[in-house]
């Protein structure tokens, strides 16, 4: 999958799976497929870069699905680890720029990796940027990137409140990407709810990550996912 393939379906949701019922992972994935979703987002936290410890390589491998596997790495020094996630079937590797002492090198390594699901597709090379990190990290990396994902919350937990300054950061990243010229998708992750999805869509992201709004423990997952996708399409400016 290249950035162009990601952009062709823009705007789209990537659904965070960790708030689902993990005891019935297969059934939860079928629900997302039935709802017409295209991506499943896994938040990998190592208890070092992030206070929370979540899931790792076996959990990505356990996802048997036609959805693209979007793997968000919030782990210390991801360079040595990305290969294992690619082997487990990750289609997208999105790592935190703050977590790597040499993010450029991580992107170079990802660019040489083959997609285990389909060798015709590459790996989407994604960079995640926390709310407090200056966007000036981006320009030297743009030649090696397919996807920039802005966090609208601090990494660590689902269900946090969307930080309003994220809107201006999305606009700034859009300018940087447009100035660069190559196909690069822009995403946003964290704090997106049924109440603010239309406003977030109007900020123009290509990808919106949403977890607890879809797996909310009360309404049907399919209905939640379709509501979020419809709102995203209706209000998008991307
Ligand atoms: C936070 C994660 C997010 C988060 C999204 O560290 O990167 O993906 O779990 O969850 P919601 O949509 O519930 O804010
Ligand atoms: Zn995430």
Ligand 1 pocket: which of 133, 211, 213 to mutate (most atoms within 8 A of CB): 211
Active site residue 189: yes
- Binned at pLDDT 50, 70 and 90, residue 96 comes out as very high
154-186 burial code (b ≥16 CB/10 A, e <16): ebbbbeeebbeebbebbeebbebbeeeeeebbb
* Contact assessment for residue 112 and residue 146, using Cβ atoms and an 8 Å cutoff: no
CB neighbourhood size of 55 (10 A): 15
Phi and psi for 45 in degrees, rounded to 5? -125, 140
Alpha carbon of 120 to ligand 1 centroid (Å)? 30
Mean pLDDT of 216-238: 94
Q: What pLDDT is attached to residue 34?
A: 97
Q: In a 3-state reduction of DSSP, which class is residue 69?
A: strand
190 lines ligand 1 (CB under 6 A): yes
pLDDT at residue 238 in the model: 79
Residue nearest to atom 6 of ligand 1 (CA): 155
pLDDT one-digit tens code per residue, 58-75:
999 999 999 999 999 999
Q: What is the pLDDT of residue 121?
A: 86
pLDDT of 199 over the 70 cut: yes
124 in Cβ contact with 146 (< 8 Å): yes
In tens, the pLDDT along 124-156 reads 999 999 999 999 999 999 999 999 999 999 999
Structural element, H or E, at residue 222 = helix 221-235
28 Rama class: left (phi>0) / alpha (psi -120 to 50) / beta: alpha
How far is residue 29's CA from residue 42's CA, in Å, rounded to a whole number? Answer: 12
What value does the mean pLDDT take over residues 162-187?
96
pLDDT at 2: 74
> What average pLDDT does this structure show over 162-186?
96
How far does residue 227's CA lie from ligand 2's centre (Å)?
20
Residues 6+ apart with CB under 8 A from 48: 75, 76
CA distance 193 to 33: 20
Closest to 159 (Cα-Cα) out of 211, 224, 81 = 211
Residue 29 has a pLDDT of 98
CA distance 44 to 15: 14
Cβ(169) to ligand 1 under 6 A?
no
Question: What distance in Å separates the CA atoms of residue 78 and residue 113, rounded to the nearest whole number?
Answer: 15
pLDDT band (50, 70, 90) for residue 198:
very high
Q: What is the pLDDT of residue 235?
A: 92
- Ligand 1 centroid distance, CA of 53 (Å): 14
Q: To test the ligand 1 pocket, which listed residue (75, 153, 215) has its Cβ within 8 A of the most ligand atoms?
A: 153
Please identify, by atom number, the ligand 1 atom nearest to the C-alpha of residue 190: 14
The residue to mutate among 75, 129, 150, 209, having the most atoms of ligand 1 within 8 angstroms of its beta carbon, is: 209
State the average pLDDT over residues 221-229.
97
Taking the centre of ligand 2 as the mean of its atom positions, its distance from the CA of residue 18, in whole angstroms, is: 10
Other Cβ atoms closer than 10 A to 219:
13
Q: Which ligand is nearest to the CA of 18?
A: 1
pLDDT score recorded for residue 159: 84
Give residue 122 CA to ligand 1 midpoint distance, Å: 25
- pLDDT digits 0-9 by tens, 4-42: 878 988 999 999 999 999 999 999 999 999 999 999 999
Nearest atom, ligand 1, residue 52 CA? 6
Cβ proximity of 3 and 124 under 8 Å: yes
pLDDT surpassing 90 at residue 120: no
Q: What is the pLDDT of residue 237?
A: 85
**Tokens representing residue 129 in the block:** 């940027």
pLDDT range class, residue 1, cuts 50, 70, 90: low
Residues 6+ apart with CB under 8 A from 118: none
Q: Can you tell me the distance from the alpha carbon of 75 to that of 179, in angstroms, rounded to the nearest whole number?
A: 30
């Amino acid at each position: 999958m290249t950035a162009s393939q990601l952009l062709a379906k823009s705007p789209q949701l990537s659904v965070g799976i960790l708030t689902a019922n993990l005891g019935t992972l297969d059934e939860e994935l079928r629900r997302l497929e039935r709802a017409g979703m295209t991506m499943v987002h896994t938040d990998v936290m190592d208890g070092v870069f992030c206070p929370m410890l979540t899931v790792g390589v076996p959990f990505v491998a356990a996802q048997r699905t036609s959805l693209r596997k979007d793997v968000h790495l919030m782990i210390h020094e991801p360079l040595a680890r990305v290969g294992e996630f690619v082997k487990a079937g990750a289609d997208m590797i999105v790592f935190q720029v703050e977590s790597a002492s040499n993010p450029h090198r991580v992107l170079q390594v990802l660019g040489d990796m083959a997609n285990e699901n389909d060798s015709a597709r590459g790996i989407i090379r994604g960079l995640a940027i926390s709310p407090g990190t200056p966007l000036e990290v981006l320009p030297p990396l743009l030649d090696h990137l397919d996807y920039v994902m802005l966090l609208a919350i601090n990494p660590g937990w689902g269900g946090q409140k969307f930080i309003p300054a994220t809107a201006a950061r999305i606009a700034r990243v859009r300018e940087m990407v447009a100035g660069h010229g190559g196909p690069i998708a822009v995403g946003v992750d964290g704090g997106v709810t049924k109440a603010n999805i239309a406003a977030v869509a109007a900020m123009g992201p290509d990808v919106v990550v949403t977890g607890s709004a879809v797996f909310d423990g009360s309404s049907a997952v399919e209905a939640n996912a379709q509501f979020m996708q419809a709102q995203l399409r209706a209000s998008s400016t991307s």
